[in-house]
């Protein structure tokens, strides 16, 4: 007997549901919104993004901030006069480590002056010299290097040879010769003496950076559009060539603090009645055997400050150099 085929209905589930009386929403799902493109970051924003996550930068930044506040507002840390000499304390009273942030915390020097107060107030001259010298050598060195690298030819030859002449003079020895020609050696005399010889390294770095940047397509396009030389230098070359200069200047800042302390220690830089770490180191060398703390405490402050700026320079270099990232 032949087999009877039965109609089982449509195989489609939607049609079956519709047959059963069930309403099915067949409206197509809305298309997903396109993801918003992330705005590309510049070199500086990318570097700042990395610096905020670098423990080396955070530690050095906190330490430098404290030192700058100490230099700008020393009265927040001590109410003592760094030049006041109490003859009752002239016998090199030793530090009292239990009296934190008090006048006698670091003891007294041979003249009965508070070493703690002199350390606090001494930060002003030492950091002032370093910051102003760094600003002057950065402006001068960047200008010389940028002009030599951009124009090339005779201008490059003349400026490079002048840079080599200054670079051949030993920095500390040259500063000693310049300072000895002045009868009165104030803070600004020391600043100008250090800046007079300290711009050569930055000039070399700036020249090399400009030689690389001036071959870029955006510089060629600016020239083709008729942009002036000053606009090309200030708007196109300088912002893209300044990163290596900032790194070198940041590291050199700590060196200028050490240079000022060295010159004062040798009796050629700042002198009494000026208050600086170098002056205190110079006066403390005579008491090295009897009271070593008079020499050690300002020396430690110089070391900490120089280390902080070197750490900052290393962090900035790692953030701005693509090869190290």
What is the total residue count of the chain? 325
User: DSSP assignment of 174-193, as one string?
Assistant: HHHHHHHT-SS--HHHHHHH
Domain containing 203: what range? Answer: 45-75+123-324
Please count the structural domains in the chain: 1
Q: How far apart are CA 80 and CA 83, in angstroms?
A: 9
b/e burial code for range 126-162 (CB count within 10 A of at least 16 → b): bbbbbbbbbebbbebbbbbbbbbbbeeeeebeebbee
Task: Classify residue 256: in a domain, yes or no.
Answer: yes
CA distance linking residue 145 with residue 14, whole number of Å: 77
pLDDT on residue 12: 47
Q: What is the pLDDT of residue 15?
A: 44
Q: Any idea what the CATH number is for the domain that residue 273 is in?
A: 1.10.3720.10
What confidence score (pLDDT) does residue 211 get?
92
Residue 118 lies in a domain: no
What separation in angstroms does the CA of 129 have from each of 43, 81, 123, 201?
30, 22, 10, 18
- Which candidate, 266, 280, 308, places its Cα nearest to that of 57? 308
Q: Is residue 21 one of the residues assigned to a domain?
A: no
SS3 of residue 114 by DSSP: strand
110 falls within a domain: no
Whether residue 212 lies inside any domain: the answer is yes
- Biggest CA–CA distance in the chain, Å, is 135
Domain for residue 94, yes or no?
no
Q: What is the pLDDT of residue 290?
A: 79
Would you state the torsion angle of the CA atoms of residues 130, 132, 136, 137, taken in this order, to the nearest 10 degrees?
Answer: 10
Does residue 101 lie in a domain region? no
Encoded tokens for 142: 């960047």
Q: Give the three-class secondary structure for 271.
A: coil
Per residue in 195-238, pLDDT (tens digit) is 999 999 999 999 999 999 988 898 999 889 888 989 999 888 98
Residues of the chain with pLDDT under 50: 1-22, 24-25
CA distance 295 to 277: 10
In a domain, 178, yes or no: yes
Q: What is the pLDDT of residue 5?
A: 44
Write out the H or E segment, with its range, that includes residue 156: helix 153-168
């Amino acid at each position: 007997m032949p087999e009877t085929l039965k109609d089982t209905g449509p195989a489609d589930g939607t049609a079956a549901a519709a047959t059963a009386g069930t309403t099915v929403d067949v409206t197509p799902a809305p298309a997903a919104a396109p993801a918003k493109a992330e705005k590309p970051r510049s070199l500086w924003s990318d570097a700042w993004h990395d610096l905020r996550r670098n423990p080396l930068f955070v530690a050095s930044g906190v330490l430098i901030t404290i030192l700058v506040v100490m230099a700008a507002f020393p009265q927040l840390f001590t109410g003592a006069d760094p030049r006041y000499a109490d003859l009752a304390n002239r016998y090199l009273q030793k530090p009292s480590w239990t009296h934190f942030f008090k006048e006698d915390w670091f003891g007294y020097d041979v003249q009965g002056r508070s070493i703690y107060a002199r350390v606090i107030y001494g930060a002003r001259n030492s950091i002032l010299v370093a910051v102003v010298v760094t600003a002057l050598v950065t402006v001068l060195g960047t200008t010389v290097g940028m002009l030599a690298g951009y124009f090339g030819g005779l201008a490059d030859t003349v400026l490079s040879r002048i840079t080599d002449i200054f670079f051949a003079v030993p920095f500390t020895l040259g500063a000693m010769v310049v300072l000895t020609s002045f009868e009165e050696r104030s803070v600004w005399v020391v600043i100008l003496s250090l800046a007079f010889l300290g711009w050569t390294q930055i000039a070399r770095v700036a020249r090399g950076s400009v030689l690389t940047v001036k071959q870029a397509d955006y510089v060629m396009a600016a020239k083709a559009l008729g942009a002036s030389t000053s606009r090309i230098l200030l708007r196109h070359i300088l912002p893209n060539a300044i990163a290596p200069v900032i790194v070198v200047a940041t590291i050199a800042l700590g060196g200028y603090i050490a240079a000022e302390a060295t010159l004062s220690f040798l009796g050629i830089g700042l002198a009494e009645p000026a208050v600086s770490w170098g002056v205190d180191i110079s006066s403390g060398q005579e008491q090295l055997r009897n009271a070593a703390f008079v020499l050690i405490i300002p020396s430690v402050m110089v070391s900490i400050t120089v280390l902080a700026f070197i750490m900052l320079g290393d962090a900035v270099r790692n953030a701005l150099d693509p090869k190290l990232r």
